[in-house]
Amino acid sequence: MLAYIVRRLLYAIPILIGVNLLTFALFFMVNSPDQMAQAQLGDKHMDPQAIEAWKAQRGYDKPLFINDAEDSDGLLTDTIFFDKSVRLFVLDFGKSDEGRSIAEDIQQRMWPSLAVALPTFVIGLAVNIVFALFVVMFRASLFDTAAMVACVVLMSISGVFYVFAGQFFFARMWNLVPISGYLGGMDAIRFLILPVIIGVIGGIGSGTRLYRTLFLEEANKDYVRTARAKGVPELTVLFRHILPNGLIPILTSVVVVIPSLFMGSLLVESFFGIPGLGSYTLDAIQAQDFAVVRSMVFLGSILYIVGLILTDISYTLVDPRVRLS
């Protein structure tokens, strides 16, 4: 088990190197720092000095990989690649193009993100599972068909629509909750209700449908017939036999996103003005702050890989058949 986790962690290293190289190539080789500066400063015929100043201020004035000007000490370290990419491995995110410390920003902003994402995730999962069970209970009936049609309709509606509709009715028409914004402490709840509800509703269609399929797959297996042959009543079959087996693929498939909950949701946070990492990233994208975007990409990858490892571990916890090796 321990050997397995260590091996998975080792396996994560080449992946992180890959992510790092890929983002580096994207950010510095497709477009040179000169071009970035030019685009950032706006004017097409900006004088070279301004560009140089912009670069120097942000540390983009160094060579990409090899610094010939330096002696052996700085040959490889005093470069953009080292400064901007290699340092990410020790979670040294550096400063944003605006000059703020990215690490501090992350520490500060991940809590509001979590405050929205975690309840959305947990409530959403619970609601979807309950709905799916309910549908499976009445499988092959008119209710089943109607519920599946409803799911497809819900899936076909753009997520943005739920946000608009939610804000319009709950906040503007009925004045139940604030339209957007965020406060720390217990006050946060008032601001969290709507985004969480919207997040849950947005996922009901696809979630319920997927889980129904998984439960139905279990319901058609032979051990269910065995249970019936034992004289187990239908409801008990559903809850004691189908549910635990169906939960295995569901739980193990959602575990991967748990670490990424820290990253928050770009859309929900920006719509509801929640000062989390999602809106942070979005602001950076819109302000073309490459340092922040790069850091968030790297952070996201790390969290995803942690999620993958957690997935494997969760298998051993919920499925007696699986042992890691």
Partner 1 sequence: MSLLEVSNLTIELPASRGPFASPAHTLVNGISFAIEPGEILALVGESGSGKSLTALSILRLLPDALTIIAGSVQLQGEELFALTEKQMNRVRGFRAAMIFQEPQVALNPVQTLEQQIGEVLTLHKGQTGQARRDAVVGLLQEVGIPDPQQRLSWYPHQLSGGQKQRVMIAMALACEPDLLIADEPTTALDVTIQKQILELLNQLRKQRQLGVLLITHDMGVVSEMADHVAVMRHGDILEYRSAVEFFANPQHEYSRQLIHSLPERRFRPSQQQPQALLTVDNLKVWFPQRQGILQRVVGHTKAVDGVSLQIHKGETLALVGESGSGKSTVGRAILALEQATEGDIRFDGQSLQGLSDKQFLPYRKRIQVIFQDPFSSMNPRMTIRQILAEGMTSLGLAGKGEEHEAKLEQLLERVGLEAQHLDRYPHEFSGGQRQRIAIARAIAVEPELIICDEPTSALDVSIRGQVMELLLELQRDMGLSYLFITHDLSIIPHLAHRVAVMKNGVLVEQGLCADVMDAPQHEYTKALLAAAPVL
Partner 2 sequence: MEMLMTVKPVLLWSDWLIFLLVLTLILFFINLGKNPVARKRWRSVFASRVGMASFLVIVFYVLIALLDSMHFRYPLDKLEGSDEQHYSQEVNSLLDVVLEDLRGHDEKTYSSPFAIHSFSKENRTLENGQVVRDYPRLEYAGSHLRKHETVGSDVFERSMNALVVGLGIALVLALLIQLLRRLTGKQASAWLPWKTVYLTLGGLILVTVWILQVGGYYHILGTNKVGQDVLFQAIKAVRTGVLIGTLATLITLPIAVILGIAAGYFKGLIDDVVQYIYTTLSSIPGILLIAASVLLIDVYIETHAEQFRLSAERADFQFLALCFILGMTSWTGLCRLLRAETLKVSQLDYVQAARAFGVSHSRIIGKHILPNVTHIVLIALVLDFSGFVLAEAVLSYIGVGVDPSMASWGNMINEARAELSREPVVWWSVSAAFVMMFVLVLAANLFADRVRDAFDPRTVN
Give the CA radius of gyration of the chain.
25
Which of 19, 227, 299, 305 forms a contact with partner 1 (CB under 8 A)? 227
Number of other residues whose CB lies within 10 A of the CB of residue 276: 27
The residue to which tokens 């969480």 are assigned: 196
**If contact means CB under 5 to 8 A according to the sort of partner, which of partner 1, partner 2, none does residue 7 touch?**
partner 1
The item of partner 2, partner 1, none sharing an interface with residue 263, based on CB under 5 to 8 Å by kind, is partner 2
| Binding-site partner at residue 261 among partner 2, partner 1, none, CB < 5 to 8 Å by type | none
Which pairs count as long-range contacts for 96-99, CB under 8 Å and 24+ apart, including other chains? 96/284, 96/289, 96/291, 96/292, 97/40, 97/58, 97/287, 97/289, 97/290, 97/291, 97/292, 98/287, 98/289
Q: Which is nearer to partner 2, 156 or 175 (CB)?
A: 156
Judged by CB under 8 A, does residue 62 bind partner 1?
A: no
Q: Which stretch binds partner 2 (CB under 8 A): 86-94, 110-118, 127-135, 277-285?
A: 277-285
- Which one of partner 2, partner 1, none is in contact with 230 (Cβ closer than 5 to 8 A by kind)? partner 1
- End-to-end alpha-carbon separation of the chain, Å? 7
Q: What secondary structure letter does DSSP report for 88?
A: G
Tell me the sheet residues that pair with 95: 101
143 binds partner 2 (CB under 8 A): no
Candidates 23-31, 87-95, 115-123, 222-230; binding stretch for partner 1 (CB under 8 A): 222-230
Q: Rule CB under 8 A: which of 31-60 touch partner 2? A: 31, 35-36, 38-39, 44
Q: Whose structure tokens read 């990410």?
A: 88
- DSSP letter string, 15-50: HHHHHHHHHHIIIIISS-HHHHHHHHH--TT--HHH
Q: What are phi and psi of 101, to 5 degrees?
A: -75, 120
Residue entry with tokens 């009715």: 169
9, 43, 104, 159, 173 from 100: Cα distances, Å: 31, 25, 8, 32, 39
Contact between 3 and partner 1 per CB under 8 A: yes
30 binds partner 2 (CB under 8 A): yes
CB neighbourhood size of 19 (10 A): 19
Q: Tell whether the torsion through CA atoms of 117, 122, 125 and 130 is positive or negative.
A: negative
Rounded to 5°, the CA angle 60-63-65 comes to: 115
Among 75, 155, 193, 324, binds partner 2 (CB under 8 A): 155
Q: Are 209 and 151 in contact, with CB atoms under 8 Å apart?
A: yes
Q: Using the rule CB under 8 A, which residue among 18, 157, 234, 288 binds partner 1?
A: 234
Binders of partner 2 among residues 197 to 256 (CB under 8 A) are 217
Please, which of residues 280-309 interact with partner 2 by CB under 8 A? Answer: 281-282, 285-286, 288, 290, 293-294, 296-297, 300-301, 304-305, 308
- Residue 79 in the binding site for partner 2 (CB under 8 A): no
Nearer to partner 1, 155 or 232 (CB): 232
**Residue 160 within binding range of partner 2, rule CB under 8 A:** yes
Name the binder of 66 from partner 1, partner 2, none, CB < 5-8 A by kind: none
Residues that bind partner 1 (CB under 8 A): 3, 6-7, 10, 140, 221-223, 225-234, 240-241, 244-245, 248, 319-321, 325
Residues that bind partner 2 (CB under 8 A): 14-15, 18-19, 22-23, 26-27, 30-31, 35-36, 38-39, 44, 152-153, 155-161, 164, 167-168, 217, 260, 263, 266-267, 270, 281-282, 285-286, 288, 290, 293-294, 296-297, 300-301, 304-305, 308
